[in-house]
Amino acid sequence: MIIDYTTIDMLTGDLDLRVLRNELTASNIANVDTPGYKSLDLEFTRILDQAAGRLRMMTTDPRHLPGPADSASGATVIESTFPGRADGNNVQIEDEMLKLTQNSIKYNVSIQLLTRKLNGLKNALMDARR
């Protein structure tokens, strides 16, 4: 194969995870005043292991469904262990806003890297046509 899609696959997988994390963080912010709500996030250690190929999804029971093929398929949503307020809600708005900002920055970086990679492939194809 002339073109290696590994980088493109990794970047698109990262974008999928960034979108999922953004949705979870937005949900946490929206539920800041909901009694009993527990903030949610992704379990990044497990996701990184999967991305590195060290952990594979397995079906251990015939009733298990195979996961989708995209990189976000192994994303595990976990509840925060922060202590809650008297109403049981444990959303800490400052932390959620920080996560949202960091996630947006990382999303933009991945978009820029993917754009550069695709532009490089486009330029290579254009040069090959000449």
In this predicted structure, the answer to whether residue 113 has a pLDDT above a threshold of 80 is: yes
Task: Please report which confidence band the pLDDT of residue 53 belongs to, taking 50, 70 and 90 as the band edges.
Answer: low
User: What's the confidence (pLDDT) of residue 59?
Assistant: 60
Position 118 pLDDT exceeds 50: yes
User: Tokens 């590994």 sit at which residue?
Assistant: 6
pLDDT band at 126; cut points 50, 70, 90: confident
Q: Is the pLDDT of residue 33 over 60?
A: yes
CA distances in angstroms from 67 to 32, 58, 73, 75, 95, listed in the order given: 31, 9, 6, 11, 31
Predicted TM-score (pTM) of this structure: 0.71
Average pLDDT over residues 50-78: 58
Write the CA distances from 45 to 4, 29, 49, 74, 122, integer angstroms. Answer: 26, 23, 6, 11, 34
